[in-house]
Amino acid sequence: MRIRQGMYRRGCIMPDRFCRYKGARRSVQMGLNMSMNLEQAREKLEHYGQQHLLRYYEELSEEQKEGLLAQIEAADMSVPQACKNREALAQKGVITPLASMQLPEIEANRESFTATGLEAIRAGKVGAVLLAGGMGTRLGSDDPKGMYNVGLTRELYIFECLVNNLMEVVRLSGTWLQLFVMTSDKNHEATVRFLKEHDYFGYRAEYVHFFMQEMAAATDYEGKIYLEEKGKLSTSPNGNGGWFISLKKAGLLDFVQQQGIEWLNVFAVDNVLQRIADPCFVGAVIQRDCGVGAKVVRKNAPDEKVGVVCLEDGRPSIVEYYELTEELMTARDESGDPAYYFGVILNYLFRVSELVEILEKKLPLHIVEKKIPYLNEEGVQVKPEEPNGYKYENLVLDMIHQMKNCLPFEVVREKEFAPIKNKTGIDSVESARELLKQNGVEL
Ligand code: UTP
């Protein structure tokens, strides 16, 4: 197989030494709540060629000045530099097939897997993590994606669909599972308010815990950070890969460990057919003694836009659809079946103790072209119609590569995969409604 290893392979970017900035950092640690001063901010910005961020400083109120300096202090400005090495960042190791556990094997063992899974759930060893920090830009709603109403003759929100699915396991096991909900600065308040207003759609409030993910600065194509307002850097959520670090920063890892939770089922907000803490899946991962399990579906075309499971340099990994070469798309395994034909659906079961081991490891950076609202030369806010720069993200799928072994677990796509990315067309509100109906959900 192809593929060179580059200097920036798997996102080896130097840490931002200014993040631990002298006096300013000390005052934060001492609880004085003071950010870096103007002089220190200038020094940091000059170091990274981002001096333009102070362009309107003198026009700001004292409070805005303080806010801007705090943002400059917190921003890891080594990250935008990575856009100069985009190609090197995308390089992969040696890719070989990783066999999935397929439906016939699962059916043959369903009873035993389910019994093992239910035992773990009843012992309180399984928790669920809802990734709901994304911006959902493709769907084009200003509200958090989970607030989208997919109902036709009644209200049926995406969050509600997910809770309904989780409740099936609660009923089956007779056990409430701890549910951790990741939000971001952009949607936290709205998400918490909405779920509270709807009484968590019947889920017990004491089992729901919110935590916020980090934000990352967005830049133009040269890596210059945009200003969103005169006193505010343009930022967006830093991808779903930071979920475990953010969970820890929120103090919830201690809670997870105190509760004796050994497995966390991480899932996306936008798959309304998502099975959460599926006992059969949980049991299979436990019985096969894997660090992580990944629900996968058979692709519906060689070029379907889903990441595929594989081995990379002998460790489990996921190759994104845009990284899949023609050669990989058409490759066959030893039995003559397509070698890279199982796509991930963003439903992973992680062993907590292995996640703790990889806490310090950096994830590779993904640089994504996006439409980024910004202040133009005249200081006027612009909402661009076309992409105008980059967002910088870590992805949960890259955590798979850091785990020792992975069980790809096949599920029937018509029963478990109805992602809502767009309003119409592929992976849309329309297609998800059809699938919900097929599965007997009244709309
Ligand atoms: P997507 O990759 O589909 O991104 O997220 P998105 O932000 O929801 O949608 P677009 O690309 O802007 O249209 C997959 C899952 O990861 C979560 C999302 O909420 C969704 O559940 N996610 C994504 C986060 O929690 N944080 C992020 O920073 C990005």
Task: Report how far residue 436's alpha carbon sits from residue 87's, in angstroms, rounded to the nearest whole number.
Answer: 40
Using the mean position of ligand 1's atoms as its centre, give its distance from the Cα of residue 137 in Å: 9
3 state SS of 278: coil
Q: Are 126 and 261 in contact (CB under 8 A)?
A: yes
Separation of CA 229 and ligand 1 centre (Å): 24
Which residues have C-beta within 8 Å of that of residue 363, sequence separation ≥ 6?
11, 241, 242, 394, 395, 398, 399, 402
Task: Write the CB contacts of 353 (distance below 8 Å, at least 6 apart in sequence).
Answer: 262
331 three-class SS: coil
Token pair in block for residue 352 = 């907590």
358-363 contact pairs (CB < 8 A, 24+): 358/399, 358/402, 358/403, 359/244, 359/245, 359/248, 361/402, 362/10, 362/11, 362/12, 362/13, 363/11, 363/241, 363/242, 363/394, 363/395, 363/398, 363/399, 363/402
Question: What's the CA gap between 428 and 418, in Å, rounded?
Answer: 8
Low-confidence ranges of the chain (pLDDT < 50): 1-32
Indicate the top mutation candidate among 129, 130, 135 to test ligand 1's pocket, ranked by most ligand atoms within 8 A of CB. 135
Q: State the distance from the centre of ligand 1 to the C-alpha of 418, rounded, in angstroms.
A: 15
- Choose one of 129, 130, 131 to mutate for the ligand 1 pocket test, by most ligand atoms within 8 angstroms of C-beta: 131
Chain centroid to CA 254: how far? Answer: 21
State both tokens at 346: 């963003």
* Ligand 1 neighbourhood includes 144 CB (under 6 angstroms): no
Pairing of strands 208-212, 366-370: unpaired
Question: Cβ(136) to ligand 1 under 6 A?
Answer: yes
pLDDT at 21: 40
Under DSSP, the state recorded for 350 is E
* Å from CA of 270 to ligand 1 middle: 8
Distance in Å, CA 193 to ligand 1 centroid: 20
Query: According to the model, what pLDDT value does residue 34 have?
Result: 59
240 within ligand 1 shell (Cβ under 6 A): yes
CB 235 within 8 A of CB 365: no
- pLDDT, residue 14, reads 34
Residue 135 CB less than 6 A away from ligand 1 = yes
